[in-house]
Amino acid sequence: TQLLEQSPQFLSIQEGENLTVYCNSSSVFSSLQWYRQEPGEGPVLLVTVVTGGEVKKLKRLTFQFGDARKDSSLHITAAQPGDTGLYLCADSFQGAQKLVFGQGTRLTINP
C-alpha cells in the first residue's frame, strides 16, 4: 500500500513570507497531483507532474518533482491570506484510477 506523507502538518506564517511544504511517497509516484482545499469546499487541482525533475510554476507557486519521483515540494513566494487552505498531494496509485492522498498541510497566512 502506498503511503504519502506530507510535512509540516500545520503551518502558520505572516503575509509576505515564503514557505515550502513537502510530500514524500513510500513508492515511486505514477503521477503526482497537488490540490488546494478551502473550508467547506472540495479540493481544487493546482498541478499535475509526471516527469522526474520536473518544475512547474503557477504564479507565486513553484512545484518541484524529485528526480527519483518519490518526493515533491510546493514553494509559495510572498504568501497572501488567499493562499490559506489545506494543501493535498495525491497519486494515481499504480496507474489505477483511484487517487491516494496525503493527510495534507494546513496552511494559514496571517494578515
Residue 21 or 100 with smaller CB distance to another protein: 100
Stretch that binds another protein, among 52-60, 61-69, 73-81, 95-103 (CB under 8 A): 95-103
Strands (E), the chain: 4-7, 10-14, 19-25, 32-37, 44-49, 55-58, 61-65, 71-76, 85-92, 99-101, 105-110
Return d(Cα 103, Cα 111) in angstroms, integer: 26
Residues in 46-85 that interact with another protein by CB under 8 A: 48, 50
Contact between 28 and another protein (CB under 8 A)? no
Contact between 43 and another protein (CB under 8 A)? yes
Stretch that binds another protein, among 56-64, 68-76, 77-85, 94-102 (CB under 8 A): 94-102
Contact between 14 and another protein (CB under 8 A)? no
Contact between 30 and another protein (CB under 8 A)? yes
- Contact, 23 vs 105, CB < 8 A? no
Ramachandran assignment for 83, one of left (phi > 0), alpha (psi -120 to 50 degrees), beta (any other): alpha
- Contact set with another protein (CB under 8 A): 4, 30-31, 33, 35, 40-45, 48, 50, 88, 90, 92, 95-104
